[in-house]
Amino acid sequence: MLCTDAIQFPDEPASAYEEIRRVLKPGGRVALTCWEPLDRNDERLSPRIRRANLGAGLRQAGFPAAGRNATSPRTRSWNSSRTPEP
C-alpha cells in the first residue's frame, strides 16, 4: 500500500493509521510519505504539519516494525510491514 503526502490531512490521523492496518493483508507492506516538520515548534507551519509523526502513528496503530528512511535532512519516509496474525 502506498500513501503519499496525505496522512497528515485527516482530522483524526490515528483513525487513518488504523484503517491502513485494517485493509492491509497479513504480511503486506505500507509505504508512507508526508510533510513532517524538522521543528515541531515552527509556528510558520500549519498545526496539521506540526503534529505529523509517521513513526508514532504507525506504532500506535500496531505495526510491529517501523523504520525511517531519510534520503536528506528534509526528506523523511517511513515503511513498515505487518506480520501475519496468529
Q: Which domain holds residue 21?
A: 2-81
Q: Retrieve residue 73's grid coordinates.
A: 535532512
Split into its structural domains, the chain has a count of 1
The answer as to whether 24 is a domain residue is yes
Identify the band that residue 1 occupies on the pLDDT scale cut at 50, 70 and 90. confident
- pLDDT tens sequence across 11-68: 899 999 999 989 988 888 888 888 888 888 999 998 988 888 888 888 888 887 656 6
The answer as to whether 54 is a domain residue is yes
* Element of type H or E holding 80: strand 75-81
Q: What are phi and psi of 71, to 5 degrees?
A: -90, -15
The answer as to whether 86 is a domain residue is no
